[in-house]
Structure 1
Amino acid sequence: MAILWLWVQLPYPVLLKMGDFIGRASMRFLKRRVSIARQNLKLCFPHYTDEQVDAIVVQNFSSLGMGLIETGMAWFWPDARVRKWFEVRGLEHITAACDKGQGVMAIGVHFMSLELGGRVMGLCRPMMAMYRPHNNKAMEFIQTRGRSRSNKAMLDRRNLKGMVKALKAGEAVWFAPDQDYGPKGSSFAPFFAVQKAATTNGTYTIARLAKPAILTIVLIRKQDGTGYQLVIEPEFEDYPLDDEQAAAEYVNRKIEREIMRAPEQYLWLHRRFKTRPEGEPKLYTV
């Protein structure tokens, strides 16, 4: 943490180069993750050539290195410095949703800039966020303190009752349903070209219980190195509250759209398709 704090005192253009170097160099040591990222891309985009997939994998690890740097930026930069490097599109959407007083479920996706995204969103409109507590108590303290610098509170992702209570009280809560959380409480729905991807039903359950406004929020790193754009989309108008399977498919389509804003920045290193329907073959060999 001390080294990370020292790194992020450097100018942002230097940090970009550092992130790129660290990420690309890590490919030599994270061969299993390289294999997972390549397999995910092949599964989701079967029309891509091997050369296209390999190019995105390299960009993805470059983004991974920058994600480490951005974690330090999110946890250690003062507000004034963070504000210099981002712009917002669609702030009026969450403002309008929050003004209804019904609570807002902000759907996010696991981009590499996730930590910085939380800090940026908090500077625009403080909210709560669902997360997985760290196993190491020291790291749990550091990450919770860092994530709470511009936001209200962190909620254990297993604490759905707490999230429902917060939403009913009119709070905005960030929730990322784009990972494979196992077969329990999941439906199998299409995700890009994979027709049966385990998709959490948490979004559907919470939506039915709390009746919040639902919208998407993502932070995208600009390709020209000039910072970031926080993108907030309008409230969902046709989310199916009476069909669990349709709801899972609906959310996955929304997540796909957000990922395609910057696919090289998405967390392809996660085994997104590790949970398979009974009787179907595994999709990973590592």
Structure 2
Amino acid sequence: MEKPRFRAALLHPRYWLTWLLFGVWFAVAQLPYNWQMAIGRMLGRLMLRFASDRRQIAERNLALCFPELSAMEREQLLRRNFASNGIALMETGMAWFRSSRWLRRRFTIEGLEYLQEPHSRGQGVVMLAMHFTTLEIGAQFMSLSHPVDGMYRPHKNPVYDYMQRKGRERLGEDSEVYQRKDVRGMLRALQKGRAVWYAPDQDYGIKQGVFAPLFGIPAATVTGTSRFARVGRAQVVPYTVTRLEGKGFYQVRVFPPITEIPSGDELKDAALVNQFVEARMRENAAQYMWVHRRFKTRPEGEEPYYPKRKRRRKKRKI
């Protein structure tokens, strides 16, 4: 895709509020790190109180995935998780607006050789990411460590879309961005020996997926990991980014390739992906994005796990 370009239309009065909010976001991102963590935790408490739909989803997910915990233990985990979601807003500002020099001082990385080794022989890599709250800042850490191509979903607000792309692409000079539907572009990149970021741990329906176990629950899981590895002749290399609480530091860990993928059996591969994802979710449950409907799609005949979303009434034209 072409690099994001500024257009005069983005200055239309209807977008002034969006620009103002980005100005505030930029200013907050310049504050000392500990101050931002405090603001993030405060935002998390507000989300916990007022974002009732998201709270219900997170509560349901935690009950499904950690039945062995007591109600009090799950409530404590829920509070820590919402604090982490609030902090993620601060980390997004850091990722988009702080300098590369500042970001480099904030993380350590281990296992980078698992990326460098296939790159040295021209083999592509499916960078298996997961939806932890450190997702945005973690992507910048990876861009500073190794060229990684990303996936992109356009935003409805053109100003937000412009700033999002500019923020994400500013440090990855040797990286490309592909729209989420551009499967061919991603496959070509893998065949050329590039590393491509891919996160298969959300519910995208069963049309291009299978039901594979996650915490013992049949979960709709996309089969793209298998397909990209097979057609792109690529290795599947996972990574995680962990916020080290109270230290102002992050640990990026690149794992050895999951060599069993592709196996030729998409269900088996999806189960392997979910097995790996579940292990990481258990290790760092407080920093995972439990606010998403991970078990939204159910096998035929099963009752839904989440309440139906309230649809906003469309204003009638007079």
Interval containing the TM-score (normalised by the shorter chain): over 0.9
Q: Matches of 1:177 and 1:132 in 2, distance apart? A: 15
Letter in 2 for 1:172: A
1:4-41 deviations in Å (ceiling 9; x for gaps): 10001111111111111111122121011001001001
Q: Does 1:285 align with 2:285?
A: no
Residue aligning to 2:224: 202
Q: Secondary structure at the match of 1:28?
A: helix
- Given that 1:104 and 1:213 are in contact with CA atoms closer than 8 Å, whether structure 2 keeps it comes out as yes
Q: CA deviation at 1:240?
A: 4.1
Q: Matches of 2:296 and 2:166 in 1, distance apart? A: 32
Equivalent residues, number: 285
Letter in 1 for 2:199: A
Q: Matches of 2:165 and 2:92 in 1, distance apart? A: 12
5+ residue gaps, structure 1, are: none
Q: Matches of 2:260 and 2:216 in 1, distance apart? A: 23
Q: Does 1:136 align with 2:136?
A: no
Letter in 1 for 2:83: S
Q: CA deviation at 1:210?
A: 0.8
Q: Does 1:172 align with 2:172?
A: no
Q: CA deviation at 1:58?
A: 0.5
Q: Does 1:222 align with 2:227?
A: no
Letter in 1 for 2:120: D
Q: Secondary structure at the match of 1:46?
A: coil
Q: Matches of 2:76 and 2:153 in 1, distance apart? A: 31
1:218-269 deviations in Å (ceiling 9; x for gaps): 2110023331011100112222421011011001011112223311110000
Residue aligning to 1:23: 44
Residue aligning to 1:251: 273
Q: Matches of 1:47 and 1:276 in 2, distance apart? A: 23
Residue aligning to 1:40: 61
- Given that 2:229 and 2:261 are in contact with CA atoms closer than 8 Å, whether structure 1 keeps it comes out as no
- Given that 1:24 and 1:58 are in contact with CA atoms closer than 8 Å, whether structure 2 keeps it comes out as yes
- Given that 1:36 and 1:284 are in contact with CA atoms closer than 8 Å, whether structure 2 keeps it comes out as yes
Q: Does 1:98 align with 2:119?
A: yes
Q: TM-score, normalised by structure 2?
A: 0.87
What RMSD, in angstroms, separates the aligned Cα atoms of the two structures?
A: 1.1
Q: Matches of 1:94 and 1:238 in 2, distance apart? A: 17
Letter in 1 for 2:177: M
Q: Does 1:153 align with 2:176?
A: yes
Q: Larger Rg: 1 or 2?
A: 2
Q: Matches of 1:261 and 1:225 in 2, distance apart? A: 18
Aligned CA distance change for structure 1 residues 193 and 51 (closer, same or farther; 3 Å): farther
Letter in 2 for 1:228: Y
- Given that 2:206 and 2:220 are in contact with CA atoms closer than 8 Å, whether structure 1 keeps it comes out as yes
- Given that 1:16 and 1:225 are in contact with CA atoms closer than 8 Å, whether structure 2 keeps it comes out as no
Q: CA deviation at 1:155?
A: 1.2
1:65-119 deviations in Å (ceiling 9; x for gaps): 1000000000000011001111111111111122221111000000111110111
- Given that 1:207 and 1:241 are in contact with CA atoms closer than 8 Å, whether structure 2 keeps it comes out as no
Q: Matches of 1:236 and 1:97 in 2, distance apart? A: 13
5+ residue gaps, structure 2, are: 1-21, 309-318
Letter in 1 for 2:206: P
Residue aligning to 1:268: 290
Q: Matches of 2:83 and 2:135 in 1, distance apart? A: 15
